[in-house]
């Protein structure tokens, strides 16, 4: 079987509904217990609308089909993977693993420090550790922790 083509494309304003659906599906179970009044789509979508923009956002595709999105900020010295979500129906197929592995290798070869805030979920924390990320400082809120990539030797 031929390997599937994993790629990204820059997000546009037209991608908002897609990005929101992927984001809300991924984070809702983690965030809801910490919200004083619970999760309300109308409230959370407005918070997200103020936070999200197409700059630095990329739609993740496999063979031309959207499977997720990433929010990445790249500077001369650092890369911040602020968001990376794969649609529920596409999880477990290695797409996120491939993307993170390829990106971190490329950026570390360029001498950039790669950081990512990660939701404090045991499965996610184990996953980023497996990629070569090490825990660092708290990420400014009680729900996430920032991890820094340590180049594999």
- Low pLDDT (below 70) residues in the chain: 1-2, 137-141, 151-153
At the topology level of CATH, where does 6-149 sit? Aminopeptidase (3.40.630)
End-to-end CA distance of the chain: 31
Q: What is the token pair recorded at 55?
A: 């700059």
pLDDT the model gives residue 150 = 87
User: Whole-prediction pTM value?
Assistant: 0.87
Query: Which is nearest to 45 in space by CA: 19, 15, 14?
Result: 19
Query: What residue segments make up the domains of the chain, in order of their start?
Result: 6-149
- In this structure, are residues 52 and 10 in contact, taking their beta carbons and an 8 Å threshold? no
Structural element, H or E, at residue 29: helix 16-31
pLDDT the model gives residue 121 = 83
pLDDT the model gives residue 17 = 97
């Amino acid at each position: 079987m031929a390997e599937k083509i994993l790629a990204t494309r820059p997000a546009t304003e037209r991608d908002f509904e897609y990005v929101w659906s992927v984001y809300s599906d991924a984070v809702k179970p983690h965030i809801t217990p910490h919200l004083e009044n619970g999760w309300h789509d109308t409230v959370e979508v407005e918070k997200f609308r103020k936070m999200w923009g197409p700059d630095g956002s990329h739609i993740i595709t496999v063979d031309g089909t959207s499977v997720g999105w990433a929010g990445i900020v790249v500077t001369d010295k650092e890369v911040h993977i602020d968001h990376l979500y794969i649609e529920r129906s596409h999880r477990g197929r290695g797409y996120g693993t491939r993307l993170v592995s390829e990106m971190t290798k490329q950026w570390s070869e360029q001498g950039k420090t790669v950081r990512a805030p990660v939701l404090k979920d045991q499965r996610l924390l184990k996953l980023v550790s497996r990629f070569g990320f090490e825990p660092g400082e708290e990420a400014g809120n009680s729900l996430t922790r920032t991890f820094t990539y340590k180049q594999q030797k």
